[in-house]
Structures are given as C-alpha cells and as structure tokens.
A = this chain, B = another copy of it.
C-alpha cells in the first residue's frame, strides 16, 4: 500500500502566525476542531489520512487571495478541498497546513445559451449544476461516480461514462480564475471557444490537483439535452468478444453517447446485489442519444454489429424507467463488488490504455487476479480504454495486502507497457506518485518539477501530491 512519505511538517510558529492573521477576518469560518480536521484529511480512498492543522471556509476569491497570500508569506501549506471524494489521497495534509474547504463558494452564474457556457464557483457539485440547468435545455455531461465538486473535477481531470461522446473535464473548461501560490489572481484564458494566445494555462491547471494554485471560478462548457435516448444491454460469452464488439462499434463511426463494459465477475456481483435479472456473461451497455430517428437507426446498426460477436442476449430500452434499470447495473457495480465480502474495503484501479490494447489489458488483469487469488470485478469506460478493477480486500490481512500491492504494481506497469497511463481519470494524489516517473520518464518528471518550482517555489500548494519539486534533478 502507498504510504505518505515522511514530509517535514510546517512549524508551529508559522502556523500560529497564520492563524492569528486569518482568525479575525474569517471568524467561525476558520476552525481547528479535531473532528473537522479529521474529516478534511481523508478522501474516498483506502489511503492513510493526514488531517490539516486548520480548516478555512472562504466565501469568495478575495478571501482565497487573503488566505493564500498569508500562507505564502509564512510558508504554510494550502490544501484545497471539494467534496473529499478523490481516490488517491489528494486532500491528505502531508505537511500539515490550512485546508481550504470550497463548499461555501458554490454560486452558479449566468448561463449563456449562445455560447453554451456557464460560470461557476468551484464548490458547486455536478448534480447541483445540472439541477440548476434543468430548464435551460442544456446540461453538463462530465459524470464521475461521486457527486463531486466542479473544482475537484477540474483538479483531477475527471471524466466518467459520458467521456466517449463529450470528452473529459479537459474538454469542458473554457477559462479558470486561479489564485497562484503567491496570492496572485490569474484568469487563465479568455472566454473565446478557441485561442492561440500564448501558453495554455487553462490546461496546465486542469489536472494539477491543487499543486499549482487554487481554482476560484470556472467557465464550463454545456451541451444541449438530447431529444431521445436509447440504451442497449448486450451480454457476450467472453471478455474478448465484448471488447472486440465495442471496438467495432467505435470504428463504425456511430457517435455512441455512452459505452460501458462489465466483466462476468462484475455482472454476477451486481445480480447478487441488485437482482436485476441480468443475463450472465461479459456485458456491454451502449447508449445513443440525439434526434429520435437518428437514435433508432444507430441502435439498429449497433445491434447488427453486435450480432457478429455471438451475443447471448440483447435488451434495448427507451423509457427512462427501463433505461434506469439497465444503468442500475453500472451504478451499483462498486457497492455490489464490496458486498461480495462483508467488512472488506475496495480499491478502484484506473488504468487507461489505447483502445486497441484494451482486450489484452483486461485479459491480463483477470489472469493476475486468478493467479494472486484476488477478487476484483472489472468495469470499463470501454470507448476510451479506461478500466477499473474494484479490488476487494481486507487491509488488516498483511499477506492479502501484499498480494493486492503486487496486483496494483502489475496493473500500473502493464498500462505503461501497453502505451497507456496509470490513471485515466482519478489522478496521482500521493497514491500513484511512485509510478509517475515510470510513465513520463525522468525527463518528463523533470519538466513537470521545473514547472512546479517556477509557479510554487516555496512548495506550499498541496505539497506531496503528483510530485515533489525535489523528485527530479534540477532542469537548466
């Protein structure tokens, strides 16, 4: 299991100096109460928590500037916090410091129908945003499992089931307001749909996990709500056939809206948990959306393609109720996996490989699980090569934890060997730091570290996540 490195914690004097300055302005929006600190040092992962020394609840960008400027002057770490649903220990205060809980910065600004954009504060969650948009005819498609905050989703470059059609968070940020390490407020770009004006600060901040600055506002991209939606659930006799079918559907040029793969282990877990009456077997859920005629033709085409891959069963659904029943299989996957073993914990892995190598990667992962005796149902955003094992294990059992470590190591190394990445949508946090150099090489890590040193020379922005400035040799 990854453990936080022993980082030098911030001095008590520096902390006290910061708290004395912040206190009068923030009042009861600054707390050192242990339960609050504990809650803010922990995310959705199995990784050891590390509570911050205090938690602040800023209300606007000015307050963030004030807090960061103060922390910068005293060398005190700043850790932005959204909903605490990250998966790699992103919010652990490894060096102590001040956690910025952004939940009170949750305003949704004016929606521009012509530009299909909306300005939001970082604390708004994706479901709240979509509830706000309901009457506009537009929606925000990025859908990680949790009801995460937009700021957190930007920071981890999140995606989800809609990415195959609409793209990831990287494709949904037009412009950001970011407070940099020294308290400077930067707007990363204009509101134009495209630009060739200088370095892409927006995409540098997307996925930076709070290590380069604190996001205080975002203009995000929206899409028209499709008129019609149709979903198919198709069971296959093997993993290889299911994934080959998915590749064939993608290759046909049909603009699928969503396409998810659940392996037979996962399907059995879901059936046991939710009793949906699913056919046994490796399963694809494929969804099309758009105008009703196009959707109907695309669905016919998809079932025709699927028929070449020996499907055991094809179920299609148009009504919201029937479609919900199909999607319940996917949404329950995580809990169904955990429920396979009462009292167990789950680790969601996050390899992403070129689609052409996905069948190979999944087959090898299943072989590993069998060899190591580890239970780990598989779900995959098969359209973009991203697959999650839900590794079900008892962290108190050292021998089992070592076998899980071996599995995680193999998965990361194999993803890299197949031309892929160790993380498609969860990020590095501190849980995957050890593999970053293997994926990017020393030269890539050096370039990243040079950027970190340039923009955060005192290493106060969420230190210990993604990389440490000293991870790589100086670049000059």
Residues of chain A touching chain B, judged by Cβ–Cβ distance below 8 Å, are 112-117, 156-159, 163, 168, 170-171, 180, 182, 184-201, 203-204, 206-208, 212, 224, 226, 247, 250-253, 255, 291, 293-294, 297, 350, 352-356, 384-386, 415-416, 419-428, 432, 436, 439-441, 443-448, 450-455, 457, 466-467, 475-476
Contact = CB atoms under 8 A, between A and B. Distances in A.
B447 A476 contact: no
A188 B445 CA distance: 10
Contact of A201 (B415, B432, B436, B447): B447
Contacts of A475: 180, 182, 184, 454-455
Contacts of A356: 112, 114-115
A447 B467 CA distance: 19
B385 A419 contact: no
A305 to B, nearest CB: 14
B200 A354 contact: no
B454 A192 contact: no
Please list the 4 inter-chain residue pairs (A to B) with the smallest Cβ-Cβ separation, ordered nearest first. Answer: A454-B454, A203-B203, A114-B356, A224-B253
A243 to B, nearest CB: 10
B355 A197 contact: no
A354 B192 contact: yes
Contacts of A426: 196
Contacts of A352: 190, 192-195
A384 B157 contact: no
Contacts of A193: 352, 354-355, 384-386
Contacts of A441: 186-187
Contact of A113 (B117, B188, B251): B251
A446 to B, nearest CB: 7
Contacts of A207: 196, 198-200
A447 B203 CA distance: 13
A293 B386 CA distance: 33
A183 to B, nearest CB: 10
B157 A416 contact: no
A204 B452 CA distance: 13
A117 B251 CA distance: 12
A263 to B, nearest CB: 20
Given A253-B224, A297-B293, A454-B475, A200 B192 contact: no
A444 B201 CA distance: 8
A357 to B, nearest CB: 9
Contacts of A156: 196
B424 A187 contact: no
A353 B170 CA distance: 20
Contact of A291 (B192, B297, B385, B422): B297
Nearest to A446: B184
Contact of A192 (B115, B189, B424, B446): B424
A189 B421 CA distance: 8
Contacts of A157: 194-196, 200
A198 B451 CA distance: 11
Contact of A421 (B171, B195, B250, B467): B195
A206 B202 CA distance: 12
Contact of A163 (B188, B194, B424, B427): B194
Contact of A354 (B112, B253, B293, B451): B112
Contacts of A445: 198
A476 B184 CA distance: 11
A198 B424 contact: no
Contact of A180 (B168, B185, B384, B447): B447
A200 B170 CA distance: 10
A283 to B, nearest CB: 21
A448 B189 CA distance: 12
A113 to B, nearest CB: 6
27 contacts: A113-B251, A114-B355, A115-B356, A157-B195, A170-B200, A185-B443, A186-B447, A187-B440, A189-B440, A190-B416, A190-B420, A192-B352, A193-B352, A194-B384, A194-B424, A195-B352, A196-B350, A196-B425, A197-B421, A197-B439, A198-B428, A198-B445, A199-B212, A200-B204, A201-B440, A224-B253, A226-B253
Nearest to A291: B297
Contact of A476 (B208, B446, B457): B457
A279 to B, nearest CB: 26
A473 to B, nearest CB: 10
